[in-house]
Amino acid sequence: MRLKSEAKYDERGWMTTITVVAHCLLDPETRLADLRPIDFRPEPPLIQLLCPEAGHLGLDRWAVTKNQIDIPSYRRYCREIFLHHADLIEQFSKKGYEIEVVGVEGSPSCGINSTTSGYTGGKIRYQDHDHVSGTGVFMEEVAKELERRGVPFCLREAGRRE
């Protein structure tokens, strides 16, 4: 695993990097209500991952922190929704494509370098949380699966904290 890659092209002028992106980078409707879309415009070829939070918690979910979702059932869900993507990514890697995985800054699921911590549960109320160094739950599972398959990849984070 490496951090950041530079776009590369073959002799035909085609990109030789497959960009694997967190779902909300291309579909902001899956982000939490009231969060602005992230300005992210990647070049194809792309693989858009499913949003684990929207799939597991729904579109009307409340904000969560990594410590709340770092539980066995959520990790299992993350692994399950990534498996078919991993099959395709492995095939591209074997054909010589470089793999770049792009996560979302500050996300409890898709952060690469930063995630969140602090909510303690209880009745719904305003509660502060912190942006901290670390990787989100889903991206940890993505990295583990690609490493298990021997797929070389690099990671980078898009967005800014909100």
Domain positions in the chain are 16-158
Mean pLDDT over the full length of the chain? 89
Q: Which of 7-21, 29-43, 132-146 has the highest mean pLDDT?
A: 132-146
pLDDT at 119 > cutoff 90: no
The answer, yes or no, to whether residue 162 has pLDDT greater than 60, is no
Determine the residue type at 108: P
User: What are φ and ψ of residue 84, in 5° steps?
Assistant: -65, -35
pLDDT at 74: 97
**34 vs 136: CA distance, rounded Å:** 21
Tokens 């979910």 label which residue?
61
Residues 69-118 pLDDT 10s = 999 999 999 999 999 999 999 999 999 999 999 999 999 999 999 999 98
In three-state secondary structure terms, 130 is: strand
Residue 2 in this model has a pLDDT that exceeds 60:
no
CB contact at 8 A, 30 and 109: no
d(CA 46, CA 41): 11
